[in-house]
């Protein structure tokens, strides 16, 4: 079987792309010219000033953002876990 697309196949692909492109443009027009994050906030009804932003006093890894030592710890833990899995399962 050859891997080169025939003209007919390319036309079918182009038609699919055109249909989806039109749908995407319609969706873009309805939702308005806003950034993807603003569009998401608009879809969920979250205010742009943070919405569901969690409090800093997180729980079980929910407050590790911005703490490089915790990141490093997690990465080290994952490395150890991967090494252990590699040794145990002989992948």
- State in angstroms the smallest separation of the CB of 80 from other proteins: 14
- Do the beta carbons of residue 51 and residue 57 sit within 8 Å? no
**CA 7, chain centre distance (Å):** 34
Using CA atoms, how far apart are residues 62 and 86, in angstroms rounded to an integer? Answer: 28
Site residues for other proteins per CB under 8 A: 1-6, 9-10, 12-13, 16-17, 20-21, 23-28, 30-31, 33-46, 51-55, 58-65, 71, 74-75, 78, 89, 91
- State in angstroms the smallest separation of the CB of 51 from other proteins: 6
- State in angstroms the smallest separation of the CB of 35 from other proteins: 3
């Amino acid at each position: 079987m050859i891997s080169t697309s025939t003209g007919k196949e390319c036309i079918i692909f182009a038609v699919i792309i055109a249909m989806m492109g039109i749908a995407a443009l319609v969706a873009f027009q309805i939702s308005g010219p806003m950034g993807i994050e603003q569009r998401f906030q608009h879809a969920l009804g979250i205010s742009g000033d943070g919405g569901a932003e969690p409090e800093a006093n997180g729980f079980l890894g929910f407050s590790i953002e911005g703490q490089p030592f915790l990141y490093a710890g997690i990465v080290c833990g994952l490395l150890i876990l991967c090494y252990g899995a590699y040794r145990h399962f002989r992948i």
